[in-house]
Structure 1
Amino acid sequence: MKRALKYVFQLLLFIGLISSLALPADARGNSHAKGKEIPLKVMSFNIAHGRGQDGVVDLQRTAEVIRTSGADIIGLQEVDKHWSSRSNFVDQAKWLAEDLGMHYVYGANLDLEPTEEGNPRRQYGNAILSKYPILHYENHHLTTVFVPGANNEQRGLLEAVINVKGNHLRFFSTHLGLKDEERLISAEEMIDIIDASQKNSIIVGDMNARANFPEMERLTERFHDVFAEKGMDEAFTFPAPWIDPETGETIKTPSSRIDFILADKNIEIENAEVVTTSVSDHLPIVSTFILKKEKPFYNGQGK
């Protein structure tokens, strides 16, 4: 009798399991089932190591701009890490992430010995902040075209694979160089790096180039230029506005669009805007995308 009851109990459990699997994913407690639309707000912000147009370095002001924007993922450029007294040797990406309660990764493009033995290395580069977990990251150094006497700063493309409610998105932050030839080479290298994966990609950064430059035309053959898609070709981002507090005279007004958000052409763009602020010499830009839940391609190596 006991054995018979045991078999009946096991049968009932089995029937219950099969029935639960037959339910839609949402009914099983997954609020982001396949096909569910997920809004995602991203930002690109060259923070100029926290130095505002008034010459004051204040990361709290930078953090407040990011917080107020409501961005979920932020690509930062010109970020110091124990760099020098100009930013009080602060690890700026870590500081911002802790203040905002976000995950973060950092990619050093300049990496120098400390000024005093025993101190951390002095680094300068790009960062990514994320409300969502970061599964993997890699900093790709881009080719430097060396010219005697010119700015020959190493440039990079920081990549993060981010789990956005089940979508494994590749997000990139970059800051391209000042030389035309170098930026064109960088554009080709960026496309090769991004095309190495099937995952959806969003790229943000200070490109040091206008939309009609050859390097940007090459990139926008492959990706959507979010602001151009929204008819905002004159959404200027540099230099950030500045009004002389003593005279009230407008000294600087934005005149160039050199900060960009690019996205794979199958990602739906909802909106885009430029954020007005004077906490950096660049204006931050934000865009909201609509992602659709899909089976992730992530294999543990970010490829």
Structure 2
Amino acid sequence: MLQVVSFNIGGAREMRPAPHDHEKLAVDAYSTLQQVINPRQPTVIALQESGVAIHNDQPRNIGRKMARLLGSEYIDAFAPEVTMCDHPHPNLWDRPAYRNMTGAAEGNAIITNLPVEDWSWGSYTDHDDCNMSGAWVRNTPISRATLYSSGNRDTQPRNLMVASLNYRGIPLYFLNTHLGVLMGEDRHDAEYERSRMASQMRQAQVSEVLYVIDELKRADQANDAPERAILLAGDFNAQAAAPEMEMLQRRFRLLRPENKASELWTHQQHRVLIDHILLHDPAQEFEVISCHIQSAIPFDDLTDHRPAVGIFARA
């Protein structure tokens, strides 16, 4: 069985002790994952709102620490969305959470114990660990050009990670993303003006995701490689019926969690289901076994999201 997890681990950062303790967050997130998966089984994890930092001259990397806790066969990659160097806005970095840090970044991460699959177009192996993202992962912006002038989510850059992996002889692409959200949008009123603006922004970001998927298909075809299955996971900041999710569902199968109705949410405050796992499987190589939201987790100072979990098998 292949275990796929999407987990936003960053939403409760204001409640955590200052300065931000990347090591503790990694340990707490790992403890939660132990309730969700069997680390000895094939696994791929999409993290949103992960982070890296230099604190007292010591590197801190949440995803890397979690990978080490999960086991020696796990690898990780990180793709920054905002960095202290490139986006030095005081609203983000001049806070107690980042006290005494000489460098920091927030973004997305992928952790897995699956074998790496070569890209059909090859890799330049002399530089396989650039920006904490190995040669098995690529990443690209999906948001409009922005200087992060507001210092909040309204102008936050967003990206898409693409990993080239292999599950029991099946090459696949695993994608991780975190779509944007606007200050003041109403999660329960899609007709509210600010909510419509946010949905339009996310639709534009989904268009970029689909463009990347088409690029992958063209590249594989140009290099005489078979068409691959694609797993897409992330925090989409949108419910299944939203226009941005409907765009994805024209190409992907959206996994529907099997929880009872009272548990069909992933965001603690708004009680909405916005963290999703999707499958594009043109050769029908995978069977969906189950999907659920892990409901029995402590929130305290870890996160305001619950992980989404999908279980797959070879068809």
Please say whether Structure 1 and Structure 2 have the same fold, judged by a TM-score greater than 0.5: yes
**CA distance change for structure 1 residues 225 and 70 in 2, over 3 Å: closer, same or farther?**
same
1:29 aligned partner: none
Quote the Cα distance in structure 1 between the aligned partners of 2:313 and 2:250.
21
1:76 corresponds, among 47, 69, 75, to 47
Instruction: Say which is worse superposed, 208-217 or 262-271, in terms of deviation.
Output: 262-271
1:94 aligned partner: 64
2:140 aligned partner: 140
Say whether the 8 Å CA contact 1:103–1:134 is kept in structure 2.
no
Give 1 or 2 for the bigger CA radius of gyration. 1
1:238 aligned partner: 267
2:292 aligned partner: 273
Can you list the C-alpha shifts for 1:106-147, whole angstroms capped at 9, x where unaligned?
A: 1111133299xxx87422111111011234210111122769
**CA distance change for structure 1 residues 145 and 132 in 2, over 3 Å: closer, same or farther?**
same
**CA distance change for structure 1 residues 120 and 255 in 2, over 3 Å: closer, same or farther?**
same
Say whether the 8 Å CA contact 2:6–2:277 is kept in structure 1.
yes
Quote the Cα distance in structure 2 between the aligned partners of 1:215 and 1:145.
20
Specify the code of the residue in structure 2 equivalent to 1:185: A
Say whether the 8 Å CA contact 2:26–2:63 is kept in structure 1.
no
Say whether the 8 Å CA contact 1:112–1:121 is kept in structure 2.
yes
Say whether the 8 Å CA contact 2:259–2:293 is kept in structure 1.
no
Say whether the 8 Å CA contact 1:83–1:122 is kept in structure 2.
yes
**CA distance change for structure 1 residues 151 and 171 in 2, over 3 Å: closer, same or farther?**
same
How far off its partner does 1:48 sit?
A: 0.7
Specify the code of the residue in structure 1 equivalent to 2:3: K
Quote the Cα distance in structure 2 between the aligned partners of 1:231 and 1:69.
14
Say whether the 8 Å CA contact 1:236–1:258 is kept in structure 2.
yes
Alignment of structure 1 residues 43-122 onto 2, 5 Å = 43-48=5-10, 51=12, 55=16, 58-70=25-37, 72-82=43-53, 90-101=60-71, 102-113=74-85, 121-122=103-104
Which secondary structure does the structure 2 equivalent of 1:263 belong to? strand
Identity %: 25
Which secondary structure does the structure 2 equivalent of 1:182 belong to? helix
Q: What runs of 5+ residues in structure 1 fail to find an aligned partner?
A: 1-38, 240-251, 293-303
Say whether the 8 Å CA contact 1:52–1:281 is kept in structure 2.
no
1:170 aligned partner: 173
Specify the code of the residue in structure 2 equivalent to 1:194: I
Quote the Cα distance in structure 1 between the aligned partners of 2:145 and 2:239.
20
Quote the Cα distance in structure 2 between the aligned partners of 1:232 and 1:167.
33
1:129 aligned partner: 111
Alignment of structure 1 residues 153-302 onto 2, 5 Å = 153-178=156-181, 179-195=198-214, 196-197=216-217, 198-227=227-256, 235-239=264-268, 255-265=271-281, 266=284, 267-276=286-295, 277=297, 278=299, 279-292=302-315
Quote the Cα distance in structure 2 between the aligned partners of 1:53 and 1:255.
20
Quote the Cα distance in structure 1 between the aligned partners of 2:232 and 2:256.
13
Quote the Cα distance in structure 1 between the aligned partners of 2:160 and 2:173.
12
Quote the Cα distance in structure 2 between the aligned partners of 1:120 and 1:219.
39
Quote the Cα distance in structure 2 between the aligned partners of 1:79 and 1:214.
27
Quote the Cα distance in structure 2 between the aligned partners of 1:220 and 1:79.
27
**CA distance change for structure 1 residues 62 and 142 in 2, over 3 Å: closer, same or farther?**
same
**CA distance change for structure 1 residues 55 and 121 in 2, over 3 Å: closer, same or farther?**
closer
TM-score computed with the length of structure 1 as normaliser? 0.69
How far off its partner does 1:84 sit?
A: 7.2
Which secondary structure does the structure 1 equivalent of 2:156 belong to? coil
1:246 aligned partner: none
TM-score computed with the length of structure 2 as normaliser? 0.66
Say whether the 8 Å CA contact 1:158–1:174 is kept in structure 2.
yes
Can you list the C-alpha shifts for 1:140-176, whole angstroms capped at 9, x where unaligned?
A: 1112276975721000111101122221111111100
1:249 aligned partner: none
How many pairs are equivalent? Answer: 235
